[in-house]
Amino acid sequence: MLFAIVFISIWFSLHAYLAWRLIRPLAPHSPWRRPVWSALLASLLIVPGVFFTRMLMQAPALTDMLAWVAYIDMGFILILAPLLLLRDSIAAVIRNARTLSRQHRRHPSDAAGTDSARRQFLANGVNLGIVGLSGVMAGAGYHEARRLAEVRQVSIPLNNLPAALDGFRIVQLSDIHLGPTIKGDYLQGIVERCNELQPDLVAITGDLVDGLTSMLQEDVAPLTALQSRHGTFFVTGNHEYYWDALTWSDLLQTLDIQVLNNTHRIIRHDDARLLLAGATDYSAHRYVPEHASDPEQARRNAGGADIAILLAHQPKSAFAGAAAGYDLQLSGHIHGGQFFPWNLTIGLVQPFTTGLHRVQGRMWLYVSAGTGYWGPPNRLGVPAEITEIRLIRA
């Protein structure tokens, strides 16, 4: 409910701003006023409407169709609003500069007043251009989002890595978000591409689903075909808790996926021991108190191991992971901001963005940009990835 309240507040504010900037410049009797009002009102209502109908109605045939419309609209609005804001910011700077210039010359009357009709025409022309540009950008982002994720290869140097683990390969999948617009056929393509890599193990770092097991049981089935030397491991993300994480944990284990809810496994690779631990989502305690994220508990009673790796959905778990003595943490959650221009602001609210980071001087953290997408089918400037991680000796 907190997420819903915050999102809807932002969504309503964006539409109020769009109404102010797009409708006000139109002439009082313009034939465009009513269509623009209608389009903004429909956009305002359909997105929160889909959120609530998916929670209340388990009828994918209806809600999936509405979700496609709503999420494409969301992607368009989330590009249009920042572009208009950028335009307004630039215009404000220019106006202030001209005002200061006139004051400096002490000739306020130098600025000949532009007639209101001309100003109105120019404003509407610029608005139309920005709307068109937003549509083109949203279309390009849609094409990128619906394209199967490419493989991104990352080598991570670890101190004291035994020779047997030099070159050990982990395929990381994160933030697939199976749901109304991502289905089993999309997941099947991901599975096939993973199997081509022949990894030593597969790690799924949360936000696999956006729906109940009753809605997505068939779509998640391709995971049974994942192949690796040591198996597939999963940790919960925040979206699993929106859709009954306990039931999802039970179902995934029937698909031969090992769920690590603050637990670990010892991977014996030739004569080396690799500790693979999984912490529940950073926010899990809000939904299931006994699932409170605890990286230290996840490795408790593990005994000796040559290297320790933590799977944790949110990068914010990295501080606890480093304190608990892990050598590497694999995370996702952020999607790299998912699409322009929001990818430029994600660092303002997250301590780590995509890619490789060093935490407290000893632990490596890799943050995936995500293998699918959430909400808008838009990946403008932030491509999805299937991450092939290779451990190497520092």
Rounded to whole angstroms, the maximal C-alpha distance in the chain is 85
**pLDDT, position 221:** 97
Q: Which region among 112-121, 164-173, 252-261, 370-379 has the lowest average model confidence (pLDDT)?
A: 112-121
Mean pLDDT calculated for residue range 79-87:
96
Residue 111 has pLDDT above 50, yes or no: no
205 closest CA partner among 368, 394, 388: 368
Q: What are the helix and strand counts (H, E) for the chain?
A: 10, 12
The CA distance from 110 to 382, in Å, is 47
Question: Cα(204)–Cα(14) distance, rounded to whole angstroms?
Answer: 34
pLDDT tier for residue 101 given thresholds of 50, 70 and 90 = confident
Please state which of the ranges 42-51, 95-104, 215-224, 320-329 shows the lowest mean pLDDT.
Answer: 95-104
CA atoms of 327 and 217, how far apart (whole Å) = 35
Structure tokens of 276? 């693979």
On whether the pTM is more than 0.85, the answer is yes
Q: Residue 240 above 50 pLDDT?
A: yes
Q: Please, which contacts does 245-252 make with residues 24 or more away whose CB atoms are closer than 8 Å?
A: 245/284, 245/287, 245/288, 245/291, 246/288, 247/212, 247/213, 248/208, 248/209, 248/213, 251/213, 251/217, 251/220, 252/208, 252/220, 252/223
> What's the rounded Cα separation, in Å, for the pair 27 and 114?
17
The residue among 222, 220, 232 whose CA lies nearest residue 257 is 232
Q: Residue 282 has which token pair? A: 């950073």
Radius of gyration of the chain (CA): 25
- Bridge partners of residue 152, in order along the sequence: 387
Domains identified in the chain and CATH numbers: 2-144 (no CATH), 150-393 (3.60.21.10)
388 in Cβ contact with 190 (< 8 Å): no
**Please, which pLDDT band fits residue 6 given cuts at 50, 70 and 90?**
confident
Confidence band of 86 (pLDDT split at 50, 70, 90)? very high
Q: For residue 266, is pLDDT > 60?
A: yes
Q: Is the peptide bond before 48 cis (omega within 30 degrees of 0)?
A: no
pLDDT band at 5 (very low <50, low <70, confident <90, very high): confident
Q: What is the predicted pLDDT for the residue at 110?
A: 47
Report the mean per-residue pLDDT for the chain: 93
